[in-house]
């Protein structure tokens, strides 16, 4: 296999994801094209070539593989499989919404939508991501480790649904921003809980940031990092900024 060969995982038979009802379509090319659409959604992981997968396995760190499903001759991405570093075995899955949360934690998303609802009217609010960045900051006090996650994003209000507010008014935009921030916090909180409480693995890079910024502490805890990670406090703040409004054509 070429080192650049992209790696995926499937819940069913892998061969099913390499079948197509469309004449002349090459399923492998279809998968490759789907990866290239990652700039339009927070539900597609960065590409995982074979050479990168080998390094993940050798490092004994936990990681994710994009999950592929097939239905009625169509293939699509649906969440990601969790590979535990100590055993290199699949232990479970993150669904699409949980993968949303992980993308916000890592700050590696290039586009996509955040859908929330106005508390008073119940109407849909669609925040379209134009930029995203995240900073994971480790804190060490004695033997105690904690993390702060700082998330920032700029985007646009892509649905002009408002009947009771004027989009030009700062007060209205601030309310919409708060609603969208609340949704992102919900996504992040659910993903952190899934990693820490259910699977007890770090697949978001917290350990890597500890290794970079506090290498001596990392050397002390790396042998059993997933278990240590499952018990550390994680705080996060989210700041979204609406720079514009009106749909630009992105979908999710």
Which structural domain, as residue segments, surrounds residue 170?
A: 9-245
Kindly report, residue by residue over 152-167, the tens digit of the pLDDT: 999 988 755 554 555 5
pLDDT at 151 over 60: yes
The answer to the question of residue 90 being in a domain is yes
- CA-nearest of 250, 245, 242, 237 to 105 is 237
Share of the chain above pLDDT 90, in %: 59
Q: Confidence class of residue 26 from pLDDT cuts 50, 70 and 90?
A: confident
Kindly report, residue by residue over 187-229, the tens digit of the pLDDT: 999 999 999 999 999 999 999 999 999 999 999 999 999 999 9
pLDDT at 17 over 50: yes
Alpha helices in the chain (DSSP H): 27-36, 50-59, 96-106, 170-193, 206-213, 215-221, 225-229
pLDDT at 23 over 80: no
Q: Confidence class of residue 118 from pLDDT cuts 50, 70 and 90?
A: confident
Choice between 198 and 73, residue whose per-residue pLDDT is larger: 198
The HSE-up count of residue 190 (CA atoms within 13 Å, CB side) is 16
The answer to the question of residue 2 being in a domain is no
CB 118 within 8 A of CB 64: no
Mean pLDDT, range 20-26, rounded to an integer: 69
Dihedral sign for Cα atoms in the order 218, 222, 228, 232: positive
pLDDT at 72 over 80: no
Distance, in Å, from the CA atom of 128 to the CA atom of 149, rounded to the nearest integer, reads: 21
The answer to the question of residue 3 being in a domain is no
The pLDDT assigned to 250 comes to 46
The answer to the question of residue 161 being in a domain is yes
- CA-nearest of 154, 147, 157 to 235 is 147
The answer to the question of residue 47 being in a domain is yes
The answer to the question of residue 22 being in a domain is yes
Q: Confidence class of residue 33 from pLDDT cuts 50, 70 and 90?
A: confident
User: What is the CATH number for 28?
Assistant: 3.30.300.210
The answer to the question of residue 95 being in a domain is yes
Domain count across the chain: 1
The answer to the question of residue 252 being in a domain is no
């Amino acid at each position: 296999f070429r080192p650049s060969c992209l790696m995926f995982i499937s819940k069913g038979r892998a061969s099913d994801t390499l079948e197509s009802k469309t004449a002349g379509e090459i399923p492998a090319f279809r998968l490759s094209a789907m990866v290239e659409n990652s700039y339009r959604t927070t539900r597609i992981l960065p590409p995982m070539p074979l050479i990168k997968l080998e390094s993940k396995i050798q490092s004994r760190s936990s990681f994710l593989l994009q999950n592929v499903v097939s239905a009625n001759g169509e293939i699509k991405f649906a969440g990601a499989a969790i590979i535990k570093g100590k055993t290199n075995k699949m232990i479970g899955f993150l669904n699409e919404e949980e993968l949303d949360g992980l993308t916000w934690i890592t700050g590696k998303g290039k586009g996509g939508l955040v859908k929330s609802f106005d508390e008073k009217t119940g109407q849909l609010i669609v925040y379209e991501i134009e930029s995203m960045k995240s900073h994971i900051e480790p804190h060490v006090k004695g033997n105690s480790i904690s993390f702060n996650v700082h998330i920032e994003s700029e985007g646009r209000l892509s649905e002009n649904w408002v009947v009771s507010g004027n989009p030009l008014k700062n007060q209205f935009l601030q309310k919409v921003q708060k609603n969208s921030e609340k949704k992102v916090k919900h996504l992040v909180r659910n993903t952190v809980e899934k990693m820490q409480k259910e699977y007890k693995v770090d697949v978001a890079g917290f350990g890597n940031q500890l290794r970079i910024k506090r290498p001596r502490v990392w050397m002390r805890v790396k042998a059993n990092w997933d278990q240590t990670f499952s018990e550390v406090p994680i705080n996060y703040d989210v700041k979204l900024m609406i720079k514009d409004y009106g749909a630009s054509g992105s979908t999710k």
